[in-house]
Every structure is written in structure tokens, then in C-alpha cells.
Copies of this chain bind each other. A is one copy, B any other.
Amino acid sequence: MNSLFALSALAAASIHPLADIQADALEDEVAWEILVDLTTQIGPRLGGTPAEARARAWSVERLNALGFSNVRVEEFTMPAWVRGDEQAWVLGDHSQELVVTALGNSGSTGPDGIEAEVVGYDSYAAFLAAPASEQRGKVVFIWHDMAPTQDGSSYSAFGGARFFGPAEASRRGAAAILVKSIGTDSDRLPHTGMTNFGDAAPIPAGALSVPDAGQLRRLLALGKPVTIRLLMTPAQIGPQTSGNVIAEVPGRDPEAKKVMVACHLDSWDNAPGVFDDGAGCAIVAAAAKRVMDMGQPERTIEIVWFGAEEVGIHGGRDFAARHDGKDYHVVAESDFGADRVWRVDTNLGEDRKAEADRLRAALAPLGIVPGSYTSAGGADIGPLMQEGAPGLSLRQDGTRYFDLHHTANDTLDKVDRDQFQQNVAAWTTMLMVMAGPVE
């Protein structure tokens, strides 16, 4: 089936022409209302905290009010980590404070802090290549040269210092590690994010803001020893309750495999989580509501607002443990900000290429380019996809995502309404294609 025929078939399957559906969705107000209310009334909502519990209660109320069915919470427990004090000072002739934040799972300096000399590296690779002997007892500082990319690929390419640096620095006997924030902004707002120590002993691990990392690098370039005082007192507080919030648009065929649209409800603790990921929750719910308001789709649409993603993808893992990936026709997650969808990737399997082509053709009027047939994903849907759930990704423009990601600056004023609503149009379109005819 060629794409033009596919589009005709789609239009024929609905009393609503696709162009009208998209035009209406571009003017969507529901997603904005969800986003404003969640991020204003709840604010930051770290996984496993009372704020996240308030967010779940708010979500159940809102999803019911929007008219969805079978709204419920699946609770689970998870190990929780909370931030403490955090402060860094350069000592001596160039005495000054540096803006630092602890990485998730960071060890504590204890309430008295530590003082140690800094040993700096221009990249994660340079840190790895250097001998442990020069790092032992020191504060390791790792710079990087991350630049913005539309597809966000610079995050994994340059994120090693945060992802793996702390564990490696611990194994090498470093007293602590400070990384340049894994970000592309120039604001004095450090980027937090998880790190994992594996079998290494946790050491204090922090991120300096990008300007502060530049300042420390210049101080090191003066060629004299730089001693830093570091105070970070985060703590592991043991198992806490989180949960996934689930809602449905029941399909006409209860035996048909479901379509899941997902996001994560939790945020980091330093911001109300607008780009990460209130926007995703607002987008997928608004799109599902648009379909629901047009009639009943063939397949059940399942909306999942996952809990405790930031701090270890706990919601995604719990969901996959309770449910079967093979029950899904497709799963998709919106978790890359509020800017426009620019590419569609699918991983539906070889035998569903025609369906992927229908989706590509339907999304083209929104300026979305076709991407991969064999690659899709999302943090929370990853475990389900490992169980065999087909996936697709509506890839968002990430050019400015890592300006805001995991910083205090992830706030409502950053949203470009036009781009945000293009997401609603894209997800509505996707559901019209994937959930079957709406009647």
C-alpha cells in the first residue's frame, strides 16, 4: 500500500479529515492547562517524596475530570535518595564560591565537608587515561565540550563524566568528583542527574554549573594548586512509595492489543519539571482526549504517567513486571521536552512496515521527517519493549533541551506554545493511525 492510498484510507476510516484533526490539535488548550496546573500546583515532585504523592492524587483527579476510564494508581516501593546542603569554595588566593549540585546517589562529605586539591581533566577520556596515582585523595574535575544537537545525541556522547565518572573516580581512590554540568546552557544553574556507583563505594559527586566549571578550569590553568572545600550532605533514606498513574480510552475491541502513550510524572527536585516531563504527560493526555472526543477507537488507548523515572526508572520496571509487553500493539513515550516533533522512528517489526508508512505519511503535514524503521524507545517503556512490545518514537527537537534538563530553569516560561501544541497534533495523529478507526 502506498502512502497516498494509506492517507485516503485513514481519512475514509473517520468522519474527521486528518487535516482538520491536525488543524484543531494545533490550537489545543487542554495540554497547556494540564501543564500549567501540574507544574504550578504541585511544583517539583521527586520520585518517592510526598510531593510526588501529591502529584499522583492530582493526576487521578484530573484524568477522571477529563473523562478517561479506569483511572488508577499502581503503587510500588523504591530506594530513595534526597539532597542535602551543597556548597563548594575555592580556597586561598582566589577564594570564591562555585555553584554545585549533588548528583543522584552521590555520597556525602559529612556535615563538616572536605578539603582537597583539585586535579582537572579536559575530557572523560583524559581522566580515564591518567594514572590513579594522581587522583588518589584529590577532587577530580572533568570538563567536556558538549554542544547542542537536534537529536540529543550529544548527551550520551558527552555524558560519560556524569554517568560513569563517579564510580570510576571512587575505584581510583578520589576524595570526590566534580563534573562540568552535562548541559549546553551558560547559566549558573547546575544540572543534576543520576549516577550509579555499582559496586564502588559512593563518594561525593557533584556537577558545577557550566560557567562555574569554566571558572575552575581557568583557575587550574594558572598553574598553581587549587584547593577546594566541598560540602554535600545527601542521603539514601531507604524504601519509599511511588506509583504509576494509569487511565484508559476503552477501545471497541477489548480483545485487540492496546496502544500505550506514556510520560513520567516525577521530576527532579530543583524545578517543577516542565520540559522533563510535565510536557510529555500533558501532550499524551491531551492527544488521547482528542481521540476520545471524536468517538471510540478500535484499540484501547492506555495512558501511563510513570513514577520515579529520574531516580532509576522504577515505574517503568514495576510496570513491566506486572504487565505483559505482548499485550501492546505499540508503546510510545513523550519525554524530551516541549519543542516540536521533527522525526518519527518506529520499531514495529518487519511485517508492519506498511503501518509505519501510514504513520509517516500522516505525520508529514506537521513537518515531521521519516526516521528509522528499526529503532524506537523511551526510558519507561524500555522494559516493556524488552518484553516484546513494539515501539515508536515521536522525536522532539532537542536543540535547547539540554539548556534546561535537570536544572532549576525547567519552568513554564520556557514553553513555546506553538511547538508544544504541534506535539499534541503529532500524538493525536499517531493515535488516529495506530489505535484504529475512530467511530
Contact = CB atoms under 8 A, between A and B. Distances in A.
Nearest to A215: B40
Contact of A40 (B95, B187, B219): B219
Interface in A15-48: 36, 40-44
Interface string A90-103: 10011111010000
Contact of A36 (B218, B413, B414): B218
A408 B93 contact: no
Contact of A186 (B40, B95, B210, B414): B414
A99 B408 contact: yes
A39 to B, nearest CB: 8
Interface in A215-267: 215, 218-219, 222
A4 B165 CA distance: 64
Interface in A388-437: 408-409, 411-414
Contacts of A414: 186
Copies of this protein in the complex:
2
Interface residues of A, number: 34
A120 interface: no
B408 A96 contact: no
Contacts of A411: 186, 188, 211, 214-215
A42 B96 CA distance: 7
B41 A211 contact: no
Contacts of A114: none
A411 B185 CA distance: 13
A139 interface: no
A43 B215 contact: yes
Interface string A69-111: 0000000000000000000001001111101000000000000
13 contacts: A40-B218, A41-B93, A42-B94, A43-B94, A43-B97, A99-B408, A186-B411, A187-B189, A188-B271, A211-B409, A211-B413, A214-B412, A215-B412
Interface of A: 36, 40-44, 51, 54, 90, 93-97, 99, 186-189, 210-211, 214-215, 218-219, 222, 271-272, 408-409, 411-414
